[in-house]
Amino acid sequence: MSKLNPLITVYITNFNYGQFIKKAINSVLNQTFKNFELIIIDDGSKDKSTKIIKQFQYKKNVKIVFQNNKGLIVSNNLALRLSKAKYIMRLDSDDWLDPHALEIMSNILERN
């Protein structure tokens, strides 16, 4: 693994969770730990999700994939293929992280 790659990939798969997705994304972007990438896969949403997700398309550590609805398993496998990190974490689009979550997780994983 290259030193240029992030330590952690957080990925979010989304299908019609427009009412929650912004909070989930911001909870990742507002982490105290900064050596991460965020992969967002929108699985063919028909609600306002696409518009919300596009607001984050120019963030340097964010990758966004818009695809026709293929289901959770295909979306998860895509995230695994796109990840460049040593560790990977899935975040549901209706959940969010404490601001210190990645810092705590990475410290524990790197120690053990």
Longest dimension (CA), the chain: 43
Q: Which CATH class is domain 8-111?
A: alpha beta
Q: Cα–Cα distance between 37 and 43 in angstroms, integer? A: 19
**pTM for the structure as a whole:** 0.94
What average pLDDT values come out for the chain (112 residues) when binned by 10 residues?
84 98 98 98 98 96 98 97 97 98 97 89
Contact at 8 Å (CB) between 90 and 11?
yes
pLDDT (0 to 100) of residue 78: 98
